[in-house]
Amino acid sequence: HNNWQMPHPLDMERFYSFIIEAYKNGDTQITADDFSEIIKPVCNINEEELHEWLIKYENGIELLKINNDK
């Protein structure tokens, strides 16, 4: 969690698992505030990095939606 620009592969795997579980639970819409409440206690990142990870989350959800609509 020290460097979110080059996270450890296991961190990425956990983040992707988080996205998949959120999708499975129907949590496909999340506000920036809610995302911040979930991520900030676990990782010490600034607002810019947090926004980048929110975009990664949203992109992951969109990919899952597209894949499951096929």
pLDDT tens-place string over residues 17-60: 989 999 999 988 888 898 888 888 877 788 888 898 899 999 99
Mean pLDDT lowest among 11-15, 21-25, 51-55, 61-65: 11-15
- At 3 the pLDDT is 54
Angle at 49 between CA 51 and CA 58, to 5 degrees: 35
The dihedral through the CA atoms of 52, 14, 67, 23 has a sign that is negative
Q: What is the DSSP string of 41-61?
A: TT----HHHHHHHHHHHHHHH
**pTM higher than 0.85, yes or no?**
no
Q: CB-based contacts of 57: which residues, under 8 Å, 6+ apart?
A: 18, 19, 22, 30, 35
